[in-house]
Amino acid sequence: MKILAIGDFHGKFPGKFEKIIKKEKVDMVVSVGDHSAVEEWYKYILVFFRNLKATGERMSAEEYFGKARFKKLLKKDFEAGKMVFRKLNEIGKKIPTVFIYGNGDDDWYRYPFDRRIGVDKKRLKFLKKQKNLISINYRTKVVKGYRFLGFGGYMDTDEMLKRQSYDSMEATVGRRKRRARSKKKLDSMLKNVGKNDKAIFVFHYTPRGVFDVIKDRKNVFHGENMGISIFSDAIKKKKPVFALCGHMHEYQGMKKLHGVPVINPGDAGHGKCAVIEIKDKKLLRVRFIK
């Protein structure tokens, strides 16, 4: 079976993906999230954290962009996200297309680990109409004989569980509570993965130990680790055929973690993806496309 692994679109869907699916005779598509969150947000995030680290003050997106531009950007982001989901839905008419959400897809899904974080009803309404998409977010599901485990959305990284100099203890405790709830959910999902299952794990954030160090020198967290240890523990415990991850745009490739191949298909917004060929419990080959 051939799988096209893609993710980190950020509101872009290069036409080459549909050509690759046809040329490679791909059997299914798997998205690791971040369908929306256009590039303008990244510039704000860099400034937000730079300012936070230096002064302890939190600048809102509306303050950074200005009220009028902020409003336009929200609309642009919504339309860009819809475009990506529509493209995936069209592909889903022909071959199974499964997906999880990324941290950039906030407002598109219900975040179960903190009630204060809401969801946009018009986004949910739109997604309900995309009948050919298979969500594996926070669930396990058998597709084409393989048991997929999907855990996407926002995550507090291991480093964020430590109290930061610019943060209140209340904020730190909040992150630790979210992590505890995340772990409880993941542990319950792992019970659905049997010893004889042909399992494939799909994460948005990277497991700790691979593709997890920030290389971008413009980022105030340059050199810091963004990995998630509960994902690494899940891989070690269940030994899936392989695991997918995204989030870290500066990476594309495959590395072994606890003897299991972990694949980052690269930044789909800039045309990167991976074609993965498997048979039963064997990973036969991976071709990375830039």
Closest CA to 27 of 252, 276, 271: 276
CATH of the domain at 241: 3.60.21.10
Instruction: Decide if pLDDT at 88 tops 90.
Output: yes
For residues 60, 50, 177, 247, the Cα torsion angle rounded to the nearest 10 degrees is 100
Question: How many domains, in total, are found in the chain?
Answer: 1
Quick one: pLDDT at residue 63? 96
Question: What percentage of the chain reaches a pLDDT higher than 90?
Answer: 88
- Average pLDDT on 12-30 reads 98
Looking up tokens 């191949």, which residue turns up? 261
Please, what is the average pLDDT of the chain?
96
Looking up tokens 């830039």, which residue turns up? 290
Instruction: Decide if pLDDT at 164 tops 90.
Output: no
The whole model's pTM is what? 0.96
At residue 183 the predicted structure's pLDDT band, cuts being 50, 70 and 90, is very high
Instruction: Decide if pLDDT at 244 tops 80.
Output: yes
Quick one: pLDDT at residue 172? 86
Instruction: Decide if pLDDT at 122 tops 90.
Output: yes
- Average pLDDT on 135-162 reads 96
Range of the domain at 91: 2-289
